[in-house]
Amino acid sequence: MTGPLTPLAHGVGSAEGLPLPLDLVLQAGAATVVVSFLIAAFWWRTPRLKPSEPRRFGVARRLRFPVLVLALYVTGFALAGPRDGNPAAHALFVWLWVGLILISVVFGPVWRAVNPLRTIFTLLGLPRNGLRPLAPGRPRSSWPAAAFLLAFVWFELLAPHHGDPVAVGLWILGYGLSQVILAILRGEEWFARGDCFEVYSELAGRLSPIRHRQPLSGLAVDTPPLLSAAPAPARPPLVSAGIAGFIAVWWGSTVFDSATPFWTGFTDRSGAPLLLGTAALVLLCALVFLAVRWTSGRLDMSVSLIPIAVGYTLAHYLSLLIVEAPRGVLLLVGAPAAGWDPQPAPAAIATAQITLILIGHATGVIVAHDRSLATAPERPTLAVLADELPMVLFMIACTWAGLFLLFVH
């Protein structure tokens, strides 16, 4: 994201700020994926990740009304307040888009508990099932959330004047109204499949060590709650393509943001930057989706991409979170923000970014291997590994692309 906030989203570092040469970093990235695969292949012969009942915390629900007040205040201030020193862009692009993923990874899917749109729906006293509820037993896809996420990232990355507080306020207002109207029609559970921020938080929350007693057990769920309310069939179904679509938009848009410096010059010279940018964003997300589905083969490895998306997103926006999240708080409370100008050490930021990406990919390899074993327990080990190989090669390509785009701009 460039425009509304001061630093580049990529971080304060570049290839020159790396603690190691870029080519060595790329080799280390590929080696991490390969070694993770080999370790899983030789020491992980049976499925170990078992779905477990997550811990439930009531503290988050106590924050739903303060969060609602904050959301209403930020929206109103964006539309009616001064444009200088307005915290609206920080609230949407930093706190919600970046901060939410960090909070969810630590504490679980907190957005469902504090979602101001759910709170508004409850205060309206509307029927929980909606005016036109889904047919009983019909699977609930997350494709609507993927579509809304695409609309959000388009606004963040391409929309003219997207950093203007009025534009931010109008987008928040339009998004909120459309979500509440659809919830009135389809019921409160619409938010679990249509609100992109709730799905975003739910997916990232599967990595939470606080919510899930066994590490990574949140990624072992065969039928995620947001996909189906029907009784589980005898043979566990593959995860809906909607999850892959959502992750494709999530990760693909972050990659598109990384490539923005390469892309901007070309689109500006073309005379139609908005049209070309929109087409490129949609095409990139579609290519990621097709690559995920093709490399997965007969298996569905979508959940294994969650730690990869989380790791790359946190790495990509790390300096933005460090520098601009506190600045947004200062703007919100009316304190002088001009004096807040931290200068994180480039080498430290680069090291943290590399670590986040490599941990995400190593975790993704392990989760993919465990899911392969769980899906086909009767198959020989070599056959299972053969099924995984295209996905491992895809992950190596993703590792290279992520590291290269992160530091070469």
Total Cβ atoms within 10 A of residue 326:
15
The two tokens of residue 230 are: 């029907």
Q: Is 40:47 a contact under the CB 8 Å cutoff?
A: no
Place of tokens 């899983």: 40
Question: What's the pLDDT at 232?
Answer: 39
Residue position matching structure tokens 């198959």:
379
Residue holding tokens 């996905």? 391
The rounded distance, in Å, linking the Cα atoms of 267 and 278 is 11
Residue by residue, pLDDT tens for the chain (409 residues) are 444 454 444 333 445 556 667 777 778 788 888 888 888 877 877 888 888 778 877 777 789 999 999 999 999 999 998 988 899 999 999 999 999 999 999 999 999 999 999 999 999 987 777 666 655 555 567 899 999 999 999 999 888 888 899 999 999 999 999 999 999 998 898 999 999 999 999 999 999 999 988 888 888 855 443 433 334 333 334 446 888 899 999 988 988 877 666 666 677 677 778 888 899 899 999 999 998 888 776 667 788 889 999 999 999 899 889 888 999 999 998 887 777 778 888 888 888 988 998 999 899 988 888 888 887 767 777 777 777 778 888 888 888 877 877 776 5
pLDDT given at position 236: 37
∠ Cα 143 148 153 (to 5°) = 120
Between CA 175 and CA 289 the distance in angstroms is: 24
Position of tokens 């001009």? 338
Predicted confidence at residue 140, as pLDDT, reads 60
Separate counts of helices (H) and strands (E) for the chain: 17, 0
Name the 3-class secondary structure at 320: helix
Amino acid at 112: R
Non-local (6+) Cβ contacts of 169 within 8 A are: 75, 76, 77, 78, 79, 88
Rounded to 5°, angle at Cα 376 from 374 and 381 = 95
The DSSP 8-state label assigned to residue 300 in this structure reads -
Phi, psi dihedral angles at 149 (to 5 degrees): -65, -40
Residue ranges covered by each domain of the chain: 15-227+238-407
Looking at residue 16, its pLDDT comes to: 52
pLDDT on residue 29: 81
Helices 273-296/241-258 angle, 10° precision: 130
